[in-house]
Structure 1
Amino acid sequence: MFTPSRPDRVHDPAVKRVQVLRTIIGLVAVTWMLLSYGLASDADAVVDDRFGQIRTTLIVLAVTFPVAVAVFIAAARPPNRGLFLRRVAKPAGALLALFVTLAVPRLITGLGYVDEETNWTASAGRVVLLLALGAFMLWLAPFGLYGIAQSLVHVFRTADLHETVPPLLATLLVWEVSLFDAFRGAYDGVPFGVWLAFILGAPLSVTAVSMWELRRLRTRHGITLRGALLR
């Protein structure tokens, strides 16, 4: 659901290793900062902060994704324009699947199926519903966590559209999220130097990795943005 599957896609193990390493280093660095400067009291608070960041990223991506993809497709010349349009379904499906995965638990509680006053022993039907919801949530939790991790690494499987899209979209997305964090006052209470390092560290590192990835695509595989657009 969350990893690219186009058969003729170029797969570069070195690029994937760097992407995974970058993601791990970023998570470790943010966790260290949140705990060191008292922005999060415990591991649960760190998890809540990261999920809040993921929600922000999804909101930004929900706006950016259709616009960026539409611009990319519109800039391409036939026959690649039609080809890219047909390939949009899988990346869009990955984004929709993650939205649904994160929204379902809140929807269940919001509709009143599960709350603190629910008497599950009142009827056999409620017991069955409890067991069904429990089994579903046990499956949904690892599915969602795995989907988040894979989506961060593969930028919502946009390589199924074209190999140059993930590094370009990742760069655009991370700068948008960083600017949003700066304006909403993220990481308030830390020294200015640390705040600046974390506000700029993510976009600069992602941009550097993306430029390196685009260079490897050009020098090792002969794949370029201009070639994708037939320009």
Structure 2
Amino acid sequence: MNAWNPGGQPPYDPRAGHPPQPGPYPPRIPHPYGPQLYPPHPGPPVSPGPLRRLWLRIGPIHTARRVFKPSRPGIVDDAFVARVQKIRTLVGLGAVVWMSVAYKVAQSVGDIADDRLSQSWNSVLMLSVTFPVAMGVLLALAAPSARRELLRRAARCFGAIVAIVAAVGVFPAAVLSGFVDGRFATSPAMAVVTYGTTILTFLWVVPFMFWGIGLALVHVFRTADIHETVPPLLAMTLVWEMTLVDLFTGAYAGVPGPLRVLFMLGAPVSVTAVSLWELHRLRAHYGITVRDMLMRQPS
């Protein structure tokens, strides 16, 4: 009680007996589970430094993607087909590893890895020989007016072949020339240049080579740049060629006969099935056929 409130009454509220007036914002309703914490608002993205940008542009992985992945404008990239191909590859790899361990085809995990790398490199070499022959057949069957365009599209495919062969050839060239042994390190300055260049070359070439071999096989030397139907056709051809090589070189020795036949036919049959399904999917969902690759008008 004071001079301003002699009766000790509660302070006068001009809004008493009247509904609350709406404010500029709706009333805050408490959350039934208590106050909620929200993550802080993310700040602006931090741009990489100049060295990081340079490495992202000329690094081995990024360069391998530019060299071995198809990039023709308007190309059809079916994610579902890529997922099925990846599953088939993983299942096939798992079966080979199981067979190698169960029947002691390989003595260690390192032997299995070396065998798979050797198999992949042999596939790259076989594909490097098969592709020019297939390109010659394609040019013979295509319409004469389309041959110049097909050759233009195939230029990057030939470039990818040259790139992977050159990357693998760096190592024997460095050894045979004496560069690795320091033959050119005739002075302290030349020693720094020689060994520094050797280290940088190996740090760049090794990732590029391994990544490039994988991408070259997955994208069949980026032959989708020619036409979307070329990769499945070449994949079927390559896998049956490699099966013939395995047959004549006695692959999977020590494995029981029926199981050996199953493993030797498993890869070509599964790849052929996936490739035929891919061709069907291209025709059914995108209207792309082999006739389109030949650029011939329907008769």
TM normalised by structure 1 equals: 0.91
1:223 aligned onto 2:291 = no
Confirm whether residue 50 of structure 1 aligns to residue 116 of structure 2.
yes
Which whole-Å CA distance do the structure 2 matches of 1:130 and 1:218 have between them? 54
| In structure 2, distance between residues paired with 1:212 and 1:190 | 31
- Change in Cα spacing, 1:29 to 1:72, as seen in structure 2 (3 Å) is same
Partner of 2:252: 187
Alignment counterpart, residue 26 of structure 1, candidates 81, 92, 97: 92
Which deviates more from structure 2 when the two are superposed, residues 84-93 or residues 122-131? 122-131
Answering whether residue 177 of structure 2 is matched by residue 111 of structure 1, we say: yes
Q: Distance in 2 between matches of 1:79 and 1:12?
A: 29
Q: How far does residue 137 in structure 1 lie from its aligned partner after superposition?
A: 0.9
Aligned-pair identity in percent equals 48
Distance in 2, Cα, partners of 1:5 & 1:202:
28
Tell me the distance in 2 between the aligned counterparts of 1:85 and 1:120: 42
What 5-or-longer segments of structure 1 have no aligned partner?
Answer: none
Tell me the equivalent position of 2:153: 87
Find the counterpart in structure 2 of residue 167 from structure 1.
232
Q: Name segments (4+ residues, structure 1) moved above 3 Å.
A: 118-123
* Cα pair 1:120 1:130 within 8 Å, conserved: no
Q: Which structure features the higher share of helix residues? A: 1
Task: From the CA coordinates, give the structure whose radius of gyration is larger.
Answer: 2
Shift of 1:119: 9.1
Give the deviation of 1:149 after TM superposition: 1.6
* Aligned pairs for 1:133-212 within 5 A: 133-212=198-277
- Is the 1:20–1:153 Cα contact (8 Å) retained in structure 2? no
**Aligned-pair distance for 1:132?**
1.5
CA distance in 2 between counterparts of 1:20 and 1:64 reads: 23
Question: Tell me, what secondary structure is at the counterpart of 1:79?
Answer: helix
Paired residue total: 229
In structure 2, relative to structure 1, the CA distance for the partners of 1:58 and 1:149 (3 Å cut) is: closer
Specify the alignment match of 2:73 in structure 1: 7
**Does 1 or 2 have the higher relative contact order (CA < 8 Å, sep 6+)?**
1
Classify 1:103/1:27 alpha carbon distance in 2 versus 1 (closer, same or farther; 3 Å). Answer: farther
Query: TM-score with structure 2 length normalisation?
Result: 0.71
**Unpaired runs of at least 5, structure 2:** 1-66
Q: Secondary structure at the match of 2:253?
A: coil
What amino acid is aligned across from residue 59 of structure 1 in structure 2?
L
**Residue 213 and residue 109 in structure 1: after superposition, are their counterparts in 2 closer, same or farther (change >3 A)?**
same
